[in-house]
Amino acid sequence: MLSVAEARARIVGSLQPTGAEIVALAEASGRVLAAPVVARLAQPPHDVSAMDGFALRAADGAVGARLRVIGAAPAGHPFGGAIGPGEAVHVFTGSVMPEGADAVTAQEDAVSDDTSITLHEAVRAGRHIRRKGQDFHEGETLLEIGRRLTARDIGLAAAANHPWLAVHRRPVIAVLATGDEIAMPGETIPPGGIVSSNSHALAAFIRARGGVPIILPIAADDRAVIAATAEAASRADLLVTTGGASVGTHDLVQTGLGERGLEVDFWKIAMRPGKPLMFGHLGALPVLGVPGNPVSSLVCGLLFLKPAIERLSGLPGDAPPSEPARCTAALPANDHRADHLRATLARSADGVWDVTPFPVQDSSMLQRLALADALLLRAPNAPAEAEGAMVQVIRLAENGL
């Protein structure tokens, strides 16, 4: 059986980022750049004053010098003339520096009346001036392809005079739940049936990670129905199936899609929960088959669907980040499957995360998953650990789950 890391590498390695679309700047937050942001102007566009005060020639800047104020240049209204010897112009933060001036005195460093100022601090050349291009120059590349845009980036792109940005299209991801026993929330539940929590949980996760989920109708345990329902996803960027992944006679996803030409890349990996994970292609459509057990489907969502969405969105598609924590319980030795124990986290007085796994870890238990803060990672064949051992955890909410 494949390891988690190998399976993820094969999924991510087979996916291509979506094409570019142009969106208004306000819509670009959280999206991934498909073209670099190049400055369309210098910032600041001119030499400007960094203070409310008076622009003057540093040659006139001795303590006690008295200068004639020949005008004012509020921000947005540059001074039309030039400053000569013994002259000053009233400027404000952001005012374009008047011609002839090479320094600014802050207004609290001079005594002024209506027509003149007297300096009580010496002024050297360049004082309180922001130079043209101090922040960035015209033509400078400010943000590179593949960057997920933050609010700071949006501000920078706006300052560089970009009303639109080229970003990768949000990947469209179809979710197909299978099983005679499942019904959509609110529908009549068949005898012995349950509600399809997986469709909605996966769709919410896809949306939280920046994808566009499409919930397909539930497909009965029937090869032809599964194949026909999946047909609706042929224009999606990825099809995620849930259920029917295991070895039972009613686990028909592979055989149903197989009749339409599904090529299976791999099936089954050395992990718990999530062993029957399947990945393949139906023509050009990548297909990720996650198990039906609700916890298994979401753990597979975190470990494989998240990197897949990121890769489709133009990012590298890395593993969700893990971090150290101290386990409050003794841990038994692990078998050959990488384990992902649902656990709570609490900050201890010494600043370390304390992690406590739930004593029962059945992969049908959604309430436990909802109350968990993290997955506690157990490597294949990890030895038993005493209480207090340091382990690695993946936090859930921080990863959109």
Ligand X SMILES: Nc1nc2c(c(=O)[nH]1)N[C@H]1C(S)=C(S)[C@@H](COP(=O)(O)OP(=O)(O)OC[C@H]3O[C@@H](n4cnc5c(N)ncnc54)[C@H](O)[C@@H]3O)O[C@H]1N2
Binding region for ligand X (CB under 6 A): 177, 179, 181-182, 194, 196-199, 242-248, 251, 273, 275-276, 291-294, 296, 363
How many DSSP H helices and E strands does the chain contain?
A: 8, 26
- Nearer CB in complex with ligand MOO: 117/245: 245
Smaller CB separation from ligand MOO, 169 or 275: 275
**198 forms part of the interface with ligand MOO (CB under 6 A):** no
Residue 15, CB half-sphere, CA atoms under 13 Å: how many?
34
The interface region with ligand MOO, picked from 168-176, 273-281, 325-333, 377-385 by CB under 6 A, is: 273-281
Helix (H) or strand (E) holding 37: strand 37-38
105 sits near ligand MOO (criterion: CB under 6 A): no
Question: Using CA atoms, how far apart are residues 240 and 282, in angstroms rounded to an integer?
Answer: 12
Report the run of H or E that residue 119 belongs to, with start and end: strand 116-119
Closest Cα to residue 373, out of 393, 390, 387? Answer: 393
Residue 331 binds which of ligand X, ligand MOO, none (CB < 5-8 A, kind-dependent): none
Q: Which does 198 bind (CB under 5 to 8 A by kind): ligand MOO, ligand X, none?
A: ligand X
Helical residues (DSSP H) of 52-150, grouped into ranges:
none
From the list ligand MOO, ligand X, none, partner contacted by residue 241 (C-beta under 5 to 8 A by kind)? none
44 is a contact residue toward ligand MOO (CB under 6 A): no
Asked if 209 interacts with ligand MOO (CB under 6 A), we say: no
Q: What distance in Å separates the CA atoms of residue 194 and residue 211, rounded to the nearest whole number?
A: 27
Kindly indicate which of the ranges 95-103, 198-206, 267-275, 390-398 contains the residues binding ligand MOO, using the contact rule CB under 6 A.
267-275
For the CA atoms of 267, 270, 271, 274, the dihedral, rounded to the nearest 10 degrees, stands at: 20
User: Helix (H, G, I), strand (E, B), or coil: what is residue 197?
Assistant: helix
Question: From the list 44, 53, 274, 357, which residue makes contact with ligand MOO (rule: CB under 6 A)?
Answer: 274
- C-alpha–C-alpha distance, residues 307 and 313, integer Å: 10
Residue 289 in contact with ligand MOO, rule: CB under 6 A = no
Select from 128, 162, 168, 272 the one that contacts ligand MOO (CB under 6 A): 272
Least separation in angstroms between residue 305's CB and ligand MOO is 14
Residue 213 contact partner, candidates ligand MOO, ligand X, none, CB within 5 to 8 A by sort of partner: none
243 binds, among ligand MOO, ligand X, none (CB under 5 to 8 A by kind): ligand X
* DSSP assignments along 235-283, one per residue: TSSEEEEES--SSSTT--HHHHHHTTTEEEEEE-BSEES-TT-EEEEET
Single residue of 17, 179, 291, 301 touching ligand MOO by CB under 6 A: 291
Sheet holding 262-267, edge to edge: 212-215, 172-177, 238-242, 285-290, 278-282, 262-267
Q: Least distance from C-beta 289 to ligand MOO, angstroms? A: 12
Report which DSSP code applies to 169.
Answer: P
Binding flag, residue 296, ligand MOO (CB under 6 A): yes
Please report, as residue ranges, which positions from 338 to 377 form the binding site for ligand MOO (by CB under 6 A): 363
The site for ligand MOO (CB under 6 A) is made up of 272-275, 291, 293, 296, 363
